C-alpha cells in the first residue's frame, strides 16, 4: 500500500542554507509538517501511509528529508542542532508561517525544542515514539532491557563501520516493527536505498560527531527536556508503542504518572515505527487533535 501511495507523491525540492531539501506533500489546508527520526534509512517515506488520510481529513501534509537523509543534500554540519535550526529556515523558504509538528523518534525532541523556542510558530506538537522525552527508570528495572533492543544496538554499531546489506536492513526493520508483514519486497528495497551510498556516509559522520560530543564535559543547563513538556504553550499529543524498545511502555507510564494531564497514548501491537505499525490508530488520534 505505501509503495503504491509513493507513486502518487511527487518529489519536490526547496533550497535551504545552500542545500536542496526534498519534500513530498498531499492535500490542502492547515499544514502538518512530518518530521522523521535519525535511524539509518529514515526519510520522509516513513510517513507515506499517513499522508493520504491526513489530506482527506483536510490537512496539507508535508514530509521532508532532513539534511543527510533520503534524497536531500548532505550538510557539512551533521549535528542535531544544525538540523533543528534548519526547520524554521525551511518554513520561511516555503512561505509557511505556522504549522503543526508531527515528529517521530529523535525528531520528537527537536520538535519540542523548536516549540519551546518559538511557540508562536507552531500550532500543535505530536510526538511519536520519542524515548528521549521519557523519564528514566530505576536502575534495577532497566536490567534485561530486551533481546531485540540489544540486537538493534549491535546492528547499528556494526552498520556504523560497514555499509549494510539488504539483510541488515531487513533485520533493523524487524527490530523496529511489530507487524513484520509490512516489510514487503518493495518496502525493503526503498528503505535499503535510503540506507546506502551517501546516506550511509552521512550516517557514519553523524555517529562520529556524536561520539566526539560524548567525550566533552557536559554542562548542566537546567531540567531535562521531558521535564519541560508542561511548559509548551500549544497542545501536545504523545503516542508510544507498548512493544517499543528501551522500556518505553514502563517509562511512558511513569511520565503519565508524573504529569497526569499529558495527552499520552500507548498503542498495543506497536514497536518503534509508530507511523507504520499504528498507522490507523495514529490517524484516529492525530486528526481530532489537530482539529482541536
| Phi, psi values for residue 238, rounded to 5° | -120, 130
Reported as a pLDDT band with limits 50, 70 and 90, residue 205 is: very high
Query: pTM of the entire structure?
Result: 0.92
CB 39 within 8 A of CB 105: yes
* pLDDT > 90: percent of the chain: 83
pLDDT at 209: 87
For residue range 256-292, what is the model confidence (pLDDT) as tens digits? 999 999 999 999 999 999 999 999 999 999 999 999 8
> For residue 7, what are the contacts with CB-CB under 8 A and spacing of at least 6?
none
Q: pLDDT tens digits, residue range 121-176?
A: 999 999 999 999 999 998 645 445 555 555 556 666 666 678 999 999 999 999 99
Return all residues near 70 (Cβ < 8 A) that are at least 6 apart: 22, 42, 43, 44, 45, 194, 199
CA distance 133 to 252: 9
Q: What domains does the chain contain, in order, with CATH numbers?
A: 2-145+226-291 (3.40.50.1820)
Q: Which is higher by pLDDT, 292 or 229?
A: 229
Torsion sign over Cα 131, 134, 137, 139: positive
* Amino acid 141: pLDDT: 52
Q: pLDDT by residue (tens digit) across 236-247?
A: 999 999 999 999
- Concatenated DSSP letters for 172-239? HHHHH-S-GGG--HHHHHHHHHTTSTHHHHHHHHHHHHHHHHHHSPPPP-SS-GGGGGGG-SS-EEEE
Instruction: Look at residue 239 in the predicted model and tell me its pLDDT.
Output: 98
Average pLDDT for residues 4-8, to the nearest whole number?
A: 57
Query: Which pLDDT value is given to residue 215?
Result: 81
Q: How far is CA 281 from CA 32, 69, 216, in A?
A: 17, 27, 41
Q: Higher model confidence: residue 88 or residue 151?
A: 88
User: What is the pLDDT at residue 179?
Assistant: 98
pLDDT score, position 217: 78
The burial of 42, by beta-carbon neighbours within 10 Å (0-12 exposed, 13-18 middle, 19 or more buried), is given as buried
Grid coordinates of 41: 534509512
pLDDT bucket at 211, cuts 50 / 70 / 90 = confident
The number of helix segments (H) and strand segments (E) in the chain equals: 12, 8
Please determine, for residue 216, whether its predicted confidence score (pLDDT) is greater than 90: no
- Whether the per-residue pLDDT at 6 is higher than 80: the answer is no
Could you tell me the three cell numbers for 9?
507523491
Q: Which three cell numbers stand for residue 122?
A: 507552531
**CA atoms of 268 and 121, how far apart (whole Å):** 33
Residues with Cβ < 8 Å from 64, sequence gap 6 or more? 21, 22, 23, 24, 33, 34, 35, 44, 72, 90
Confidence of residue 7 (pLDDT cuts 50, 70, 90): low
- Give the pLDDT score at 138: 81
Amino acid at each position: 500500500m505505501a509503495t503504491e501511495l509513493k507513486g502518487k507523491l511527487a518529489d519536490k525540492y526547496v533550497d535551504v542554507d545552500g542545500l536542496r531539501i526534498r519534500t513530498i506533500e498531499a492535500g490542502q489546508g492547515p499544514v502538518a509538517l512530518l518530521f522523521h527520526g535519525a535511524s539509518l534509512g529514515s526519510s520522509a517515506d516513513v510517513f507515506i501511509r499517513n499522508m493520504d488520510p491526513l489530506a482527506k481529513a483536510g490537512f496539507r501534509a508535508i514530509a521532508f528529508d532532513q539534511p543527510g537523509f533520503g534524497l536531500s543534500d548532505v550538510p557539512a554540519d551533521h549535528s542535531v542542532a544544525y538540523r533543528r535550526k534548519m526547520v524554521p529556515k525551511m518554513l520561511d523558504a516555503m512561505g509557511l508561517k505556522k504549522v503543526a509538528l508531527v515528529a517521530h523518534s529523535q525528531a520528537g525532541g527537536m520538535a519540542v525544542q523548536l516549540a519551546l523556542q518559538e511557540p508562536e510558530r507552531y500550532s500543535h506538537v505530536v510526538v511519536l515514539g520519542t524515548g528521549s522525552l521519557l523519564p528514566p527508570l530505576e536502575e534495577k528495572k532497566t536490567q534485561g532491557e530486551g533481546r531485540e533492543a540489544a540486537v538493534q544496538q549491535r546492528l547499528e554499531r556494526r552498520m556504523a563501520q560497514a555499509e549494510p546489506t539488504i539483510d541488515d536492513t531487513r533485520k533493523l526493520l524487524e527490530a523496529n516493527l511489530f507487524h513484520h508483514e509490512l516489510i514487503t519486497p518493495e518496502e525493503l528495497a526503498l528503505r535499503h536505498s535510503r540506507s546506502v551510498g551517501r546516506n550511509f556516509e552521512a550516517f557514519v559522520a553523524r555517529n562520529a560527531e556524536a561520539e566526539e560530543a560524548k567525550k566533552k564535559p557536559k554542562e548542566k543547563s537546567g531540567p531535562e527536556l521531558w521535564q519541560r513538556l508542561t511548559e509548551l504553550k500549544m497542545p501536545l499529543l504523545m503516542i508510544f508503542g507498548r512493544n517499543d524498545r528501551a522500556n518505553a511502555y514502563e517509562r511512558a507510564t511513569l511520565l503519565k504518572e508524573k504529569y497526569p494531564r499529558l495527552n499520552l497514548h500507548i498503542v498495543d501491537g506497536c514497536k518503534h515505527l509508530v507511523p507504520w505499525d499504528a498507522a490507523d490508530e495514529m490517524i484516529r488520534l492525530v486528526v481530532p487533535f489537530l482539529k482541536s
